[in-house]
Chains A and B, each alone.
Chain A
């Protein structure tokens, strides 16, 4: 089963909806709760990163009984130094974003912890593509 959602930069009223729908689909599909939990951390953090840091993009979930694949694709500023961005606490989020509870620099590290496989590619001034897999045990 494939679910795909458009994600708009800075649209905080709808932000998180895509991940919420993916969660419901995973639960309906009867995935293991631990798998769902990990997949949802990835989906939500990746969705919020598009909302906060990019212009627009999409969030896709490919769900099979064996695994969940999450793909976040965006057009935006890109990430100049991915290994720096992966460090806990590194964030370029401005103060008004931090006031909303984001910008701890924990999104990508938490994605890394939750994913069984992860690949992030980014081109400055073009966009970012995140691909992650969680195996369903």
Chain B
């Protein structure tokens, strides 16, 4: 099942860091990651990435795996350079104060799966 970013934002009580105009985008699956190598192997195109990693590499990774959006968890916020790069690539970024476990659990309960 797919979920719209607008619904993700509401369920995770998230702020939108960029891509407010793209909240109609649907994600087809979710992937929680704190390791770049694992994400590269297992994240699927069209997915929502949930992560505590806030450096510029997460944007490059998202582009590589064709993720549709990123949620930063645990109250982490990327720098302006990272947000700027995401904006350039039309990649919506959200940020929540919830933990990774909690965020994934809520989305799973709402029907989102790994594949």
Q: Given A102-B37, A104-B38, A106-B38, A16 and B58 touching (CB < 8 A)?
A: no
User: Which listed residue, B37, B40, B60, touches A17 by the CB 8 Å rule?
Assistant: B60
Interface residues of A in 11-39 (CB under 8 A from B): 12-13, 15-17, 19-20, 23
Question: Looking at the complex, which one of A12, A13, A110 makes contact with B40 (CB distance below 8 Å)?
Answer: A110
* B56 contacts the other chain (CB 8 A): yes
Chief secondary structure at chain A's binding surface: helix
**Stretch binding the partner chain, chosen from A40-48, A63-71, A119-127:** A40-48
Closest Cβ–Cβ distance, residue B37 to chain A (whole Å): 4
- CB nearest to A113 among chain B residues: B41
Q: How far is the CA of A69 from the CA of B61 in the complex (A)?
A: 21
Q: Is the CB of A12 within 8 A of B41?
A: no
Contact: B36 with A102, CB < 8 Å?
Answer: yes
What total of chain B residues lie within 8 Å of the partner, measured CB to CB? 19
The reply to whether B56 and A12 contact each other, CB–CB distance below 8 Å, is yes
A94 at the interface (CB under 8 A from B): no
B57: which A residues are within 8 A, CB to CB? 12, 15-16, 100-102
Closest A residue by C-beta to B34: A101
Chain A residues with Cβ under 8 A from B55's Cβ?
12, 100-101
> For the complex, what is the distance from the CA of A24 to the CA of B93, rounded to whole Å?
23
The answer to whether B97 has its CB under 8 Å from any CB of chain A is no
Interface residues of A (CB under 8 A from B): 12-13, 15-17, 19-20, 23, 40-41, 44-45, 48, 100-102, 104, 106-107, 110
Listed A/B pairs (14) with beta-carbon separation below 8 Å: A12-B56, A15-B57, A16-B60, A40-B40, A40-B64, A44-B40, A44-B64, A100-B57, A101-B51, A101-B53, A102-B37, A104-B35, A104-B37, A106-B41
6 closest Cβ contacts across the A-B interface? Answer: A16-B60, A106-B37, A101-B36, A101-B53, A104-B35, A100-B55
> Using a CB–CB distance below 8 Å, which chain B residues touch chain A?
33-38, 40-41, 51, 53, 55-58, 60-61, 63-64, 81
